[in-house]
Amino acid sequence: SDVEYPTDTCERSNELTALMRQALEKFESYIKLSRRISVDTITLFRQLEDPSKLADAIAPNIIVRIGDRQSLLETVAPKARLEKLVKLLNSEIEILNIEQQIHTRVSSQIEKNQKEYYLTEQMKAIKKELHQKDDFAKEIDEMRERIKQAKMSPEAEGAAEKELNRLSKMMPFSPETTVSRTYLDWLCGLPWAKRTQDMLDIEKARRILDEDHYGLKKPKERVLEYIAVRKLTKKIKGPILCFVGPPGVGKTSIARSIARAIGRKFVRMSLGG
């Protein structure tokens, strides 16, 4: 069968030219907002001088309802078709503007939330770091004060200060920090300037030794001689008593009795022998 295309009988007028220009301008705005079509397409459409062909070229490239497409298709007159097209373009541009506003608002809110979250986490990290540093600095100051109050010997105090300076340059929770802390705690915990008042009463010492041990005549005499020498010389430093013998013969117990007899604290240190 033969097919005949209807010819447009509309004459080109200023109003029709204005509609064509308006349609092109609106379509260009639509392209920029939708970003679905290349901007170069508008250059090709500007070369169309036939109002019907221009309307037919623009219509398939816009997103409209099926009913609106059908209405455009049924409109034969170029002028009426361009008017409907411009109206549809205005409506779609308005919708796209609203979508853009919503997108911008949502994006801004997301960016704001992300920024707030990032800043909040950063502040937490900074506060935590500052808090740790403040606590660590406070600990260093307290340890320095403990070293001063311990009244160590000059050699020991120098070693403690050197270790404290080394500790202050470490990270608060590093393994080396724990070792350094333990060493300084041990140094400060030693009784550098603490002394007991010796009781050099020979008769009382004899009575205590007899109460605690039966026999052991020679060790007791040696201990009493030690106390007598201390009483006569009044020297702080005296001889070191050394008890030798197999396990279980009473070396530790007699040392405990000596401490009780002269009023000293008894400390037992096992060296793993």
Residue 230 pLDDT > 80, yes or no? Answer: no
Q: What is the pLDDT of residue 235?
A: 64
pLDDT tens-place string over residues 15-39? 888 888 888 888 888 888 887 777 7
pLDDT tens-place string over residues 148-164? 888 888 888 899 899 98
Is the distance from CB of 174 to CB of 153 less than 8 angstroms?
no
Mean pLDDT over residues 178-203, rounded?
82
Query: Nearest CA to 253 among 223, 209, 215?
Result: 209
**14-100 CATH fold:** Methane Monooxygenase Hydroxylase; Chain G, domain 1 (1.20.58)
Residue 236 pLDDT > 60, yes or no? Answer: no
For the chain, the domains span 14-100, 123-189, 202-262
Query: Nearest CA to 243 among 232, 228, 231, 258?
Result: 258
Query: Nearest CA to 70 among 88, 53, 54?
Result: 88
Mean pLDDT over residues 186-195, rounded?
81
**202-262 CATH fold:** Rossmann fold (3.40.50)
Mean pLDDT over residues 44-48, rounded?
82
pTM value > 0.75:
no
Is the distance from CB of 61 to CB of 37 less than 8 angstroms?
yes
